[in-house]
C-alpha cells in the first residue's frame, strides 16, 4: 500500500514589549493587572508540537486534515499579534528530491486543495470562512479553503491579533491539509512552520 506521511515540525518564536509611559503618571495609574510601569510585559507561546498527517493516495486524490493548537499568554493590556510562516524560503513539503507543492492561494483569497498540494487555514479569519473545520483522514478533495504558508523571506501571515490581556491563555487552532494522488512518491515529506507571538 502506497502511503505518504507528512510531518509539519513546529518552531516557536517569542516576542516581548517594554511598557514605558510617555509622560509622568500618578502612582497606581494605568490598567489594573497589566504590565507594571517601566517593566517588561512577558509573553509565552506553546504549540501541540510536531504534527503528522498520513495520506493513502488514490488516483482521484486523497486528503487529510489535522490541527495544531497555539496557546499565547501575556499580561500586556494591548494584547498580542500571532503570525506564522515557513522556516524556509521554499513552501513545498520535501522528501529528498520529491516535493508536494503548497496551494497557490493567500489568506485573503484561499482556495480548495488540488491534487498534490498542501496548505493551512484558521477558521474565521481572512477569506477562510467560519468553518467549523474538523479533523479528517483520507477523504476526497472538497471545497474547504486553504492558503500557502508564506516563505521565510516573505511577509508572515497574521493568524490572531488581540487588544487585551490574554490571561488565561488564548488558543488559536491552525488547520493543515494535504492532498495526494498516485503520482506522488511514497515516503515521508516534511517542512517546518514558525509561529511568532509579539506583544502589541
| 189 phi/psi in degrees, rounded to 5 | -110, 150
Quick one: pLDDT at residue 49? Answer: 81
DSSP secondary-structure letter at 12?
E
Give the separation between CA 121 and CA 45, rounded to whole angstroms: 19
Q: Along the 200 residues of the chain, how does pLDDT read in single tens digits? A: 555 555 555 444 444 333 323 233 333 333 444 555 445 578 888 888 888 888 988 999 999 999 999 999 998 899 999 999 998 999 999 888 999 999 999 999 999 999 999 999 999 999 999 999 999 999 999 999 999 999 999 999 999 999 999 999 999 999 999 999 989 888 888 899 989 888 88
Return d(Cα 101, Cα 119) in angstroms, integer: 9
CA–CA dist 51, 128 (Å, integer)? 21
What pLDDT was estimated at residue 186?
86
Phi, psi of 76 (to 5 degrees): -65, 120
Q: What is the DSSP string of 166-178?
A: EEEEEEEEEEEEE
The structural domains of the chain, with segments of one domain joined by +, span 4-199
CB count in 10 Å sphere of residue 166: 22
Is residue 180 within 8 Å of 61, Cβ to Cβ? yes
Q: What is the pLDDT of residue 28?
A: 37
Amino acid at each position: 500500500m502506497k502511503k505518504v506521511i507528512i510531518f509539519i515540525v513546529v518552531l516557536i518564536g517569542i516576542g516581548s514589549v517594554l511598557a514605558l509611559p510617555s509622560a509622568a503618571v500618578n502612582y497606581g495609574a494605568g490598567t489594573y493587572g497589566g504590565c507594571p510601569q517601566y517593566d517588561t510585559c512577558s509573553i509565552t507561546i506553546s504549540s501541540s508540537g510536531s504534527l503528522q498527517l498520513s495520506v493513502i493516495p488514490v488516483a482521484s486524490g486523497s486528503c487529510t486534515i489535522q490541527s495544531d493548537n497555539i496557546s499565547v499568554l501575556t499580561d500586556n493590556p494591548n494584547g498580542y499579534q500571532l503570525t506564522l510562516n515557513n522556516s524556509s524560503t521554499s513552501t513545498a513539503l520535501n522528501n529528498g528530491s520529491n516535493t508536494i507543492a503548497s496551494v497557490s492561494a493567500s489568506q485573503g483569497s484561499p482556495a480548495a486543495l488540488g491534487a498534490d498540494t498542501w496548505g493551512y487555514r484558521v477558521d474565521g479569519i481572512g477569506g477562510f470562512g467560519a468553518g467549523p473545520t474538523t479533523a479528517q483522514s483520507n477523504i476526497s478533495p472538497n471545497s474547504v479553503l486553504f492558503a500557502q504558508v508564506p516563505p521565510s523571506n516573505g511577509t508572515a501571515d497574521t493568524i490572531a491579533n488581540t487588544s487585551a490581556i490574554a490571561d488565561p491563555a488564548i488558543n488559536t487552532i491552525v488547520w493543515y491539509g494535504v492532498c495526494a494522488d498516485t503520482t506522488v512518491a511514497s515516503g515521508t515529506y516534511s517542512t517546518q512552520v514558525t509561529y511568532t507571538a509579539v506583544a502589541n
